[in-house]
Structure 1
Amino acid sequence: MPTLQRVPALVASGQLAIPVAEALVALPADVLGRVQAASIDPDLADTAAFSEAYGFPVEGGANCIVVAGRRGEDVRYAACIVLAHTRLDVNRVVKKLLDVRKASFAPKDEAVALTGMEYGGITPIGLPSSWPVYADARVQDAPEVVIGAGLRGAKLFLPGAVLAGLPHVQVVEGLATPTPDA
């Protein structure tokens, strides 16, 4: 089993996507001090593969999903943070939050271009400031979550309450539902 060498996130800035490193530097010192980073095998970036390879509980995995909503010609983007053992409610909750007629996962190429991050490593830290960021209420109760670091070759580790409490994050009850096998 590969091992994780966690370091303070600021020390790992060379291993993070540029928008992520820039956003981390802007966090208050007490928040930044609770965020760690670790390099990983990029082939193991997907939540299930990461959890199995590194022995991290899948319940602590958090996914950041970029959503595009449309109302006529207007396209609205948002990021949604859900725990890995839950499923984002795009068709009901996200549509209502974005006030759009249609919402879906943003196309891969579009998500990568708009965030400046690699697909499979997109994180809520460092997203465009105009985007709303929604976190399922379960995220704030997780003792520790692992989430992308902007690159497939790294992960961020932080308490769920810290992630849900970031200045640009809105906690939403019922944003996700448990997966049938959870």
Structure 2
Amino acid sequence: MNEHASPAGTADPVTPDSSATSGSSGSSDGRVTAPFGNFPDVRRAVDCVAELAGPVAALLKEWDAELARAVRYVDTDPELADTAVFCAAYQVPVEASANCVVVAAKRGGETTLAAGVVLATTRLDVNKAVRGHLGARKASFAPMDTAVGESGMEYGGITPVGLPAHWPLLIDAAVAATPWVLIGSGRRRGKLILPGAALAALPGAQVLDGLAT
């Protein structure tokens, strides 16, 4: 989904309560409780990898088992893409929603792809924060075809979970401090909900202050 707001707290976000993460809270078909929102289908993402983009499923299989099991998959209508409409339809607090933006940074004739993750009430500061951190002469949003082709994910569903390991993954500090964050699943249908601290633990992740405006 999309960008910003003040974090809801800083208590251990990976296991905030046993009812949300323990095996006993799930049914035999893998359904569990979402930490927020009203969704018709909530499961651990590791139990429904067929619903995810290939790179997302691959990362969850290779990732730390505790972190991977904390990730929820929620089934959502791909037509409800607008942030305000989505949050209203599924009763999601906008400050718990985040965007993953693919950026193309250029320097000396070379282009580096990177991703920035910010809360849905803010915007990624591409021209200053991202460009400066990457030491690029110019930084801009990556073309849709490039973002889709290089990530292996669907446009409108790109997520930091499963992006190429060599990409710089820049995460705004407000995202990392949010107990539970809603983000894309790699496909237009469905979303992931996971602790902000888990996003900060993704391969190559760098948590930065001032990444969003």
Distance 1:109 1:4, change over 3 A: same
Aligned pair count? Answer: 177
Residue 59 of structure 1 corresponds to 95
CA shift for structure 1 position 3:
3.0
Aligned partner of 1:45 among 52, 74, 81: 81
Greater gyration radius: 2
1:150-169 alignment runs, 5 A limit: 150-169=186-205
Give the secondary structure class of the aligned counterpart of 2:146.
helix
CA shift for structure 1 position 45:
3.4
Give the secondary structure class of the aligned counterpart of 1:157.
strand
Q: Which amino acid letter does the alignment assign opposite residue 191 of structure 2?
A: K
CA shift for structure 1 position 86:
1.0
1:1-182 alignment runs, 5 A limit: 3-177=39-213
More displaced stretch, 127-136 vs 4-13: 4-13
Residue 180 of structure 1 corresponds to none
Is the contact between residue 115 and residue 170 of structure 2 (CA under 8 Å) also seen in structure 1?
Answer: yes
Distance 1:79 1:49, change over 3 A: same
Percent pairwise identity: 52
For structure 1, list consecutive stretches of 5 or more residues without a partner in the other structure. 178-182
Residue 32 of structure 2 corresponds to none
For structure 2, list consecutive stretches of 5 or more residues without a partner in the other structure. 1-36
CA shift for structure 1 position 51:
1.0
Q: Which amino acid letter does the alignment assign opposite residue 124 of structure 2?
A: L
Is the contact between residue 39 and residue 75 of structure 2 (CA under 8 Å) also seen in structure 1?
Answer: no
CA shift for structure 1 position 2:
7.0
Is the contact between residue 137 and residue 172 of structure 1 (CA under 8 Å) also seen in structure 2?
Answer: yes
RMSD, matched Cα: 1.4
Distance 2:201 2:172 in 1: 12
Distance 1:30 1:55 in 2: 27
Give the secondary structure class of the aligned counterpart of 1:43.
coil
CA shift for structure 1 position 140:
1.4
Distance 2:129 2:40 in 1: 36
Distance 1:148 1:60 in 2: 13
Q: Which amino acid letter does the alignment assign opposite residue 94 of structure 1?
A: V
